[in-house]
Structure 1
Amino acid sequence: MKKLISNLFFGTLVTVLMGSSQVYAQEKTIVVSSTTSTEQSGLFNFILPIFKMKTGIDAKVVAVGTGQALDIGRRGDADVVFVHDKAAEEKFVEDGFSTKRYEVMYNDFVLIGPKTDPAKVGGGKDIQVALQKIAAAQAPFVSRGDKSGTHAAELRYWKGAGIAIAPGTAWYKETGSGMGPALNTASAMNGYILADRGTWISFKNRGDLMILVQGDPKLFNQYGVMLVNPAKFPSVKKAQGQEFIDWLISKNGQEVIASYKIDGEQLFFPNAKK
């Protein structure tokens, strides 16, 4: 009897363990290194469950600034990189860390500032003129200062405005943080800040801040996605990573991205090339 019970227990244990290993083997997970704007805007929380339902693949997101996201890809610590700095993305491909960049969607940057608008930039359509006015007024300006795609764009606009920010400039504050925390700082300081529209729409702690400058073609904000090169990093999950990319740029993926809205306002506009 004891032997029979022992054999039954052993057989049950083996069955459970085999079932567990089969479930584990069936789990499909990829690491996506991405920007804070795609995460803090709520986009990933919206689209990733739909992607998983369709494919069984669980996409784990590491949300950092674009520069850091690309660095993670350069170390081979991600399967896919999904960011918004076209020049840096093209360099990533040029350097062999990926073999192809795919355009996915766009939105735009907006200049946020206090309703009192001490620099008198409200209603303007030229971001560089607005920055010149902010510098002339020495009005508080909050920069992410984190080598993100938004930070890179901001630096381009200051350069285009012909303004060099000297280290230690009193009215210019670098936070070294993501878009949400930087917006919190701007709200607390009642200062100006460059933000992506998606994160701004989803941001709740607005205080006395509002959009003051928008509509300049230079504020266009393109997002791209790349598979980390499996020839350089054999640990990259090539098939599953490519499946994620293929879904993002597919008709269904593009429709899902377009359907993400907050209070009826669309945050991202799909533009994958067919």
Structure 2
Amino acid sequence: STTSTANSGLLDAILPQFTAKSGIEVRVVAVGTGQAIKNAENGDGDVLLVHAKPAEEKFVADGWGVQRFDVMYNDFVLIGPEADPAGVKGGKDVVAALQAIAAASAPFASRGDDSGTHKAELKFWKAAGIDVKAASGGWYRETGSGMGATLNAAAGMGAYALTDRATWISFGNKDGMAVLVEGDERLFNQYGVILVNPSKHPSVKAEAGQAFIDWITGADGQAAIAGFQLEGQQLFFPNAK
């Protein structure tokens, strides 16, 4: 599972509902999407809940997963210091904002961990025509850690960062930091769920895993996701088909 679903408190809120209904206990290993997929390929886990659709589709195509289902979505936001040295506040174009940050050599904190958020961020830099590898260690700082730790680093150095909105809302250390760019349709963030293929890894608890997928994509699970709020805001929006 991704760190965003764990950091935000979503899984702590909804998993007891699944356990009460099914009697199945779920153990969550919260790592970034890239690491979660690697773990699953190694047979460490029964179900993937992640957010990087191309990587998920490849995982299934390569035979590691049985089938991918949409579960829910939220969105990414660009956060940064309220002083906004790059002057991006209020914009709706994430690519233009990144170009402005690079032009100003304003500090940017990247997860640098191959997570779904990191993959999305790199895609936006590419669209912006910015070579962040060349800037690494300068204005572009890679934390190599999860979303919460990266937000702490950004707050500590007055840096910009890309985050999923749920982790931002649940993040405690917002002093002097704010959402500066939001609402670009490219910031849409879809989550998917996949059963790890038991024919590749006989240790996979396929029946329990499928029961969880049926629940989270079914009426009860979707209602549980919709009902999860923080500070009066809904964080994830169910859209299983």
Please state which band the TM-score falls in when normalised by the shorter chain.
over 0.9
Cα distance in 2, alignment partners of residues 227 and 181 from structure 1? 29
Which residue number corresponds to residue 130 of structure 1?
97
Could you tell me how far 1:193 is from its partner in structure 2? Answer: 0.2
- The correspondence for 2:191, drawn from 212, 223, 229, is 223
- The correspondence for 2:78, drawn from 97, 111, 117, is 111
Could you tell me how far 1:207 is from its partner in structure 2? Answer: 1.6
Which residue number corresponds to residue 245 of structure 1?
213
- The correspondence for 2:108, drawn from 111, 116, 141, is 141
| Corresponding position: 1:87 with 2:54 | yes
Which residue number corresponds to residue 232 of structure 2?
264
Q: Retained in 1: the 8 A contact 2:3–2:31? A: yes
| Corresponding position: 1:45 with 2:12 | yes
- The correspondence for 2:140, drawn from 172, 190, 196, is 172
Could you tell me how far 1:167 is from its partner in structure 2? Answer: 5.3
Q: Retained in 1: the 8 A contact 2:66–2:195? A: yes
Q: Retained in 1: the 8 A contact 2:228–2:235? A: yes
Deviations 1:132-168 (A, max 9, x none): 0000000010000000000000000000011111154
Which residue number corresponds to residue 72 of structure 1?
39
- TM-score of the two chains, using structure 1 as the length reference: 0.87
| Corresponding position: 1:211 with 2:176 | no
| Secondary structure of the corresponding residue to residue 103 of structure 1 | strand
Cα distance in 1, alignment partners of residues 111 and 190 from structure 2? 19
- The correspondence for 1:161, drawn from 125, 128, 149, is 128
Cα distance in 1, alignment partners of residues 175 and 149 from structure 2? 14
Identity level (%): 62
| Secondary structure of the corresponding residue to residue 173 of structure 2 | coil
Higher relative contact order structure (alpha carbons within 8 Å, sequence separation ≥ 6): 2
- The correspondence for 2:222, drawn from 240, 254, 266, is 254
Gapped runs of 5+ residues in structure 1?
1-33
Cα distance in 2, alignment partners of residues 115 and 79 from structure 1? 42
Cα distance in 2, alignment partners of residues 168 and 127 from structure 1? 20
Partner AA of 1:226 in structure 2? I
Could you tell me how far 1:99 is from its partner in structure 2? Answer: 1.8
Cα distance in 2, alignment partners of residues 75 and 65 from structure 1? 15
| Secondary structure of the corresponding residue to residue 109 of structure 1 | strand
Deviations 1:11-70 (A, max 9, x none): xxxxxxxxxxxxxxxxxxxxxxx1100000100110011111111111000001100000
Partner AA of 1:263 in structure 2? E
Partner AA of 2:80 in structure 1? G
- TM-score of the two chains, using structure 2 as the length reference: 0.98
Could you tell me how far 1:263 is from its partner in structure 2? Answer: 1.3
Indicate the RMSD between aligned Cα atoms, in angstroms.
0.7
| Corresponding position: 1:196 with 2:164 | yes
Cα distance in 2, alignment partners of residues 77 and 116 from structure 1? 44
Cα distance in 2, alignment partners of residues 266 and 77 from structure 1? 31
Tell which structure's C-alpha radius of gyration is larger: 1
Partner AA of 1:133 in structure 2? A
Cα distance in 2, alignment partners of residues 217 and 45 from structure 1? 29
Cα distance in 2, alignment partners of residues 262 and 167 from structure 1? 36
Q: Retained in 1: the 8 A contact 2:136–2:142? A: no
